[in-house]
Structure 1
Amino acid sequence: MTATVAAMDTVAPAPGRKGRASFAFARTQDRTFLARQQVGYPFHVTRPFHLEAEPAHLATLYLQSASGGIYSGDDLAIDIEAAGDTGIHITSQASTVVHDTRGAPARQVIHIDVGENSFMAFATDPLILFPGAAIEQFVTVRLGRGSAALVTDAFLSHDPGGRQRPFGLYRSVVEIMDQDGARLAIDRTRIEGADLAGAVSPHGGFSASASVFAAGFDTSGLPPEVLETALAGPGTLCGASELPNGAGIGMRILADGGVSLTRALERVFDTVFAARFGTPPSRRRK
């Protein structure tokens, strides 16, 4: 399925680094643990940890880059498999920079397979798009029966030279499937940096953006307006709605910068986590 999604409306990347990371999670009686991992450069991971204030079986894993960012022609892939009755939170310690790709877009393919009655949060920090950066990202989420997943797809633009030069391209496809591989929902995003830098930007001057998917959640337990209320405040605009075919809830967020976007994503995680487990999450150190 990963290869199918990755091939949609795209071309093979220019020669660059090939980075692969795969993880398989399982559960003992009281703990979710990392049963198998294969991590190649530029990926690096910490040891999973558990927090006593949360459901005891939930494991948190930090996914890191050891290379200083994403570069021209990079071809990256992440594969995550969660067995039944597991609880997993994958995040990052900081945002990852996408450098000027010089006409050869980077590509990242992420496949998430959530077993029955499991919870998966793939909530990494926003990508930082430098001038000239172009990246295509493809995410597939397969939901087992009774499972749920939180997936964030976020970026912000930044010119370290202070000249407001635009990034190149941000393209993202997120697909949500049921346990049999049938498509429930698909979301496509394509944004050219030059459009956002124009006098009339579709983002209205906001430099940071996120799409959030609470897949597998029923709106009776997590109404979209609850998510919108959680994010109400200065520096952000947001809207949430039910996804088709009972796939869950989708949300768009615009923010005036990285700080506002990060805080908004933290509030989304808190709200979704509480809806699943009945208790707010502990704060992760970053």
Structure 2
Amino acid sequence: MRAEQALEMVARLGKKAPELAAWQDEPPQMASDTPGKKGYLHLGFARRGDRSVLLDMERHAPSLVQKALYWDEAMPHMPCVFMISTSGCILQGDRLALDIHVARDACAHVTTQSATKIHTMSHNYAAQLQRISLEENSYLEFLPDPTIPHCGSRFLTETQITLHPTASLLYSEILSSGRKYHSADGGFAFDLYASYIRAQLAGGTDIFSERYALTPRCQPLNNIGIMGPFDVFGNVILLTPPRHRDAVLARITPCYEPQKGIACGASLLPNQGGIIFKALGKEACQVKQAIRSFWQAARETITGAPLAAPFLWR
């Protein structure tokens, strides 16, 4: 039932979006909302004894997940999960849904196996719905690798977050240009990338919402006030109790160093919700490093555990 509900919601998501009104035609190869193009993944984490486990999982192709691993030596009780797509990328007509639930006192780290590539589209668009819920005293790190929208792609993503006032969520998204040194489609040349994030407390009280729709063909992203000279955008949201929020914010130093290819800074979210951190860089590695520094401050403050050494290949 939960898969059917989520897939029905993501199917309606793009049909009602005004920015996608021009791309409602169906792909001639394989229509949207058909098996193989409507992926679903449910991850349910719970506390069992001295550690948390991936207790509940459901998936529909092309969504897949690797077995939970415990590779983080700094938090050996935390399951680390890699999400996988059997199609290797996001294609026109794809409708994808993700549900993550973290039970009371549980923790988890969720990421992707690699960057998410959104392929060029001649028809229709791709849409994604993410629903994240955290119970009392739970902790989740949701840190996917960068998303790379190819030339001529259209993508809409909506994230709905519900959490207990004592829970903590570190949520990250990175948007990177594709083959920026390729003259034919270098830099940002997609048709549309739209993101909507909404968070509320478990009782229904709104914390914040953020929405942006990027259309570089109509409004180039290298304009002043958007991305300027940078090619990679990082957006991080930390939802956590005020005692953690203030301590994390005190450790963050904003910077603007375009000659070094990096700019970043943090602001408070409304309604005592947490912190929003944004980074711009010339290269993905620079934005990843800025996010890692914020991640380190958040984890050490909330859990008391340091970050493990980064993988050499990530």
Do both proteins adopt the same fold according to a TM-score greater than 0.5, normalized to the shorter chain? Answer: yes
Indicate the residue corresponding to 2:236 in structure 1.
212
Indicate the residue corresponding to 1:182 in structure 2.
205
TM-score calculated relative to the size of structure 1 = 0.89
Any idea what SS the aligned residue of 1:202 has?
coil
- Which protein is bigger by CA-based radius of gyration? 2
Check whether the contact 2:255–2:263 (CA below 8 A) recurs between aligned residues.
Answer: no
Asked if residue 159 in structure 1 is aligned to residue 184 in structure 2, the reply is no
Asked if residue 10 in structure 1 is aligned to residue 17 in structure 2, the reply is yes
Check whether the contact 1:51–1:282 (CA below 8 A) recurs between aligned residues.
Answer: no
Indicate the residue corresponding to 1:76 in structure 2.
96
Structure 1 letter corresponding to 2:274: G
Query: Shift in Å at residue 200 of structure 1?
Result: 5.9
Indicate the residue corresponding to 1:264 in structure 2.
290
Matching residue within 286, 300, 307 for 1:281: 307
Query: Shift in Å at residue 189 of structure 1?
Result: 1.3
Task: Provide the C-alpha distance between the structure 1 equivalents of 2:257 and 2:306, rounded to a whole number of angstroms.
Answer: 18
Check whether the contact 1:231–1:268 (CA below 8 A) recurs between aligned residues.
Answer: no
Q: Which runs of 5+ in 2 are unaligned?
A: none
Matching residue within 26, 45, 49 for 1:29: 49
Seen in structure 2, the aligned counterparts of structure 1 residues 250 and 217 have a Cα distance that, compared at 3 Å, is: farther
Any idea what SS the aligned residue of 2:251 has?
helix
Check whether the contact 1:30–1:56 (CA below 8 A) recurs between aligned residues.
Answer: no
> Identical aligned pairs, as a percentage?
23
RMSD (CA atoms): 2.6
Asked if residue 172 in structure 1 is aligned to residue 195 in structure 2, the reply is yes
Query: Shift in Å at residue 261 of structure 1?
Result: 2.1
Asked if residue 248 in structure 1 is aligned to residue 274 in structure 2, the reply is yes
Task: Provide the C-alpha distance between the structure 2 equivalents of 1:232 and 1:276, rounded to a whole number of angstroms.
Answer: 29
Structure 2 letter corresponding to 1:82: V
Structure 2 letter corresponding to 1:192: T
Give CA-to-partner distance per residue, 1:11-32, whole Å, 9 cap, x none. Answer: 6865421111111111112111
Seen in structure 2, the aligned counterparts of structure 1 residues 90 and 198 have a Cα distance that, compared at 3 Å, is: closer
Check whether the contact 2:149–2:190 (CA below 8 A) recurs between aligned residues.
Answer: yes
Structure 2 letter corresponding to 1:211: N
Query: Shift in Å at residue 241 of structure 1?
Result: 0.6
Structure 2 letter corresponding to 1:95: A
Residues 187-198 of structure 1 correspond to what in structure 2 (within 5 A)?
187-194=210-217, 195-196=219-220
Q: Which moved more, 1:173-182 or 1:256-265?
A: 256-265
Seen in structure 2, the aligned counterparts of structure 1 residues 135 and 228 have a Cα distance that, compared at 3 Å, is: farther
Task: Provide the C-alpha distance between the structure 1 equivalents of 2:45 and 2:144, rounded to a whole number of angstroms.
Answer: 18
Task: State the number of aligned residues.
Answer: 284
TM-score calculated relative to the size of structure 2 = 0.82
Seen in structure 2, the aligned counterparts of structure 1 residues 252 and 118 have a Cα distance that, compared at 3 Å, is: same
Q: Which moved more, 1:213-222 or 1:237-246?
A: 213-222
Give CA-to-partner distance per residue, 1:123-152, whole Å, 9 cap, x none. Answer: 101101110111111011111131010111
